[in-house]
Structure 1
């Protein structure tokens, strides 16, 4: 019997790598999607059965092509983790419309396209998981997050719509709200913050995997994750 596949969209050295390592450890084959080929190749080597695919989520034709290759090479797809994200800090006064459009394409449109592609197979099998990685900005629009917050709010509403449609068909859609900075080399470099104020990617990945193991009688739609010292 073929191992199930977990497709991870947006793989980098933080959450993306942690999701890949966790699901690989739990017996999944992992499809690694991102734009950084050198990092994907390195991670693929570490994980053994994983396969890497170059994918720019702002390009619908590329999404469709990559998904077709994954279906041919790695089916059945049991879990999709949409971790691609982009956020420009700006007020409405200095908003750049092209950055605004890019945030929406990456956070919302790409999520919709991948969600649409995986659902047919999942519905046919009567099971599957779609986990979408969000942010606190999806719940409230800070003054300096006019672009990012609106894109994440749209993503969260999309996730709710998907869940209401897909749950009765056996497909678990869940939304992870990450409240706080994530510990990875880029955010820690030069930071004076105490490390305990950062979320740890392996712990986030543990929660994501747990969501895929829940019984249908008690599914979670939304879970917010924050360090124990975070003010909220």
Structure 2
């Protein structure tokens, strides 16, 4: 018999830390995955009932190596939280091409590989769940963060499709689409907000714990899409209320 675990990627900071804390409080056995092993070890020691795996999931073959590690430890995934990802702020033509490809590989490629690795056994057991972290960025183009917004649109579309494919097999797939959240994301992305529009954006930022709580509650309710916060729900529907030309110009008006 293998031991059921919740697998959390990108667990060393931001939403990942709060996913770990809240799932541990529910009695889940955790496997925490990220590049920063020191942070993972500290988190695992603090919450208990968890182990840390150092991995850069953007590297080819990393997902396969992670699944082999779980197998070697006699574990199977009952909940996959695909949280690993990052953004890059700046004009597409000026950003480093290799770093943008790495973002695609992590935000999309690794997410798909891990979902594909765990779904067959979930379907066989008629039990399991996958929570893919997308963003309200998934609902419109993002001039100034073009590739990041596009990766989150992919995550949303992919998650919705999987939700429909496996819901009758007892498996839940949800996309969590938070708006601005107080994490290290902006610092890593190189985003330096300036001007009144950016200030409003920053002031809207939710705390990480509340976003995670909403995501887990939505997953438990079997929702395909979870958008925390009334304002975020409204802005996510802007493409339905206004011409797409207006929406993309509004997104591009936030100074980087």
Q: TM-score scaled to structure 2, two decimals?
A: 0.78
Residues 89 and 179 (structure 1), Cα distance of their counterparts in 2 relative to 1, 3 Å cut: same
**Whole-Å separation in 1 of the counterparts to 2:232 and 2:7:** 32
- Shift in Å, 1:180: 1.1
- Shift in Å, 1:66: 1.5
Q: Is the Cα contact below 8 Å between 1:88 and 1:145 reproduced in 2?
A: yes
Residues 164 and 51 (structure 1), Cα distance of their counterparts in 2 relative to 1, 3 Å cut: same
**CA-based RMSD:** 2.9
**Whole-Å separation in 2 of the counterparts to 1:124 and 1:26:** 25
Q: Is the Cα contact below 8 Å between 2:12 and 2:43 reproduced in 1?
A: no
Q: TM-score scaled to structure 1, two decimals?
A: 0.86
Q: Is the Cα contact below 8 Å between 1:90 and 1:147 reproduced in 2?
A: no
Structure-to-structure mapping, 1:23-172, within 5 angstroms: 23-73=23-73, 75-172=75-172
2:213 to 198, 201, 206: 206
**Whole-Å separation in 2 of the counterparts to 1:97 and 1:183:** 25
Q: 1:222 corresponds to which residue? A: 225
Q: Determine helix, strand or coil for the equivalent of 1:5.
A: strand
**Structure with higher helix content:** 2
**Whole-Å separation in 2 of the counterparts to 1:36 and 1:201:** 19
What whole-Å deviation, never above 9, does each CA across 1:63-117 have from its counterpart, x for those lacking one? 2112222234252421000111111123344344323211210110010001011
Q: Is the Cα contact below 8 Å between 1:7 and 1:31 reproduced in 2?
A: yes
Structure 2 stretches of 5 or more lacking a match? Answer: 194-198, 236-256
Residues 230 and 70 (structure 1), Cα distance of their counterparts in 2 relative to 1, 3 Å cut: same
In the alignment, structure 1 residue 12 sits paired with structure 2 residue 15: no
Larger Rg, first or second structure (1 or 2)? 2
Greater displacement, 78-87 / 148-157 = 148-157
- Shift in Å, 1:230: 10
Residues 43 and 122 (structure 1), Cα distance of their counterparts in 2 relative to 1, 3 Å cut: same
Residues 168 and 87 (structure 1), Cα distance of their counterparts in 2 relative to 1, 3 Å cut: same
